[in-house]
């Protein structure tokens, strides 16, 4: 399996509860190296652009409001099969359905405030990384 890069966000519900370190420990334990990371605070409009793919869904406005409600930590993760591996460590979108040991099972508050984001494919990973990071910020 090839070495891949994926994009990750530690969401406002998690930064608010000082869970950045605990979440990073789970990512690193799974073999995902954090090759770029920064803490930022999005505007609702910036969150809206990031989640544009969900524009037609009923929770879009709530989601953008939430993502702009506090600081987030944006990251680039690198490792073997990193996209699928990160999705596995994250767990299901709804924490009630997430497997034991996953980030969402352990930390998420609800289907909306679910602590982390992870790219779902190679094309999305590229677009999402480029939205937040310049090439110079990716230190492998
Ligand atoms: P993910 O890839 O597992 O993050 O899930 P999706 O791509 O389906 O949804 C993106 C994000 O929208 C999720 O991580 C949640 O934060 C949010 N979301 C998804 N479904 C719901 C919902 O039914 N209600 C609310 N409030 N937010 C949701």
Atom 16, ligand 1: residue with shortest CA distance = 112
Q: Which atom of ligand 1 is nearest to the CA of 90?
A: 3
Half-sphere exposure (CA, 13 Å, Cβ side) for 58? 0
pLDDT in tens, 51-97: 999 999 999 999 999 999 999 999 999 999 999 999 999 999 999 99
Q: Is the minimum distance from the CB of 88 to ligand 1 under 6 angstroms?
A: no
Place of tokens 């990031």: 50
Q: Which atom of ligand 1 is nearest to the CA of 51?
A: 10
Distances (CA, A) of 57 to 21, 64, 107: 32, 12, 25
pLDDT in tens, 106-137: 999 999 999 999 999 999 999 999 999 999 99
Distance in Å, CA 136 to ligand 1 centroid: 31
Is 117 noted as a catalytic residue in this protein? yes
Token pair recorded at residue 105: 């099972």
């Amino acid at each position: 399996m090839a070495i891949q890069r994926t994009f990750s966000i530690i969401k406002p519900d998690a930064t608010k509860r000082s869970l950045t370190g605990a979440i990073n420990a789970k990512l690193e334990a799974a073999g995902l190296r954090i090759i770029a990371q920064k803490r930022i605070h999005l505007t609702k409009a910036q969150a809206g652009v990031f989640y544009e793919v969900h524009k037609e869904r009923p929770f879009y406005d709530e989601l953008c409001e939430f993502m702009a409600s506090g600081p987030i930590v944006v990251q680039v993760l690198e490792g073997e099969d990193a996209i699928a591996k990160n999705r596995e460590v994250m767990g299901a979108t709804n924490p009630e359905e997430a497997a034991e040991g996953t980030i969402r099972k352990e930390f998420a508050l609800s289907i909306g405030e679910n602590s982390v984001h992870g790219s779902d494919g190679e094309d999305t990973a590229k677009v999402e990384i480029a939205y937040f990071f310049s090439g110079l910020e990716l230190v492998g």
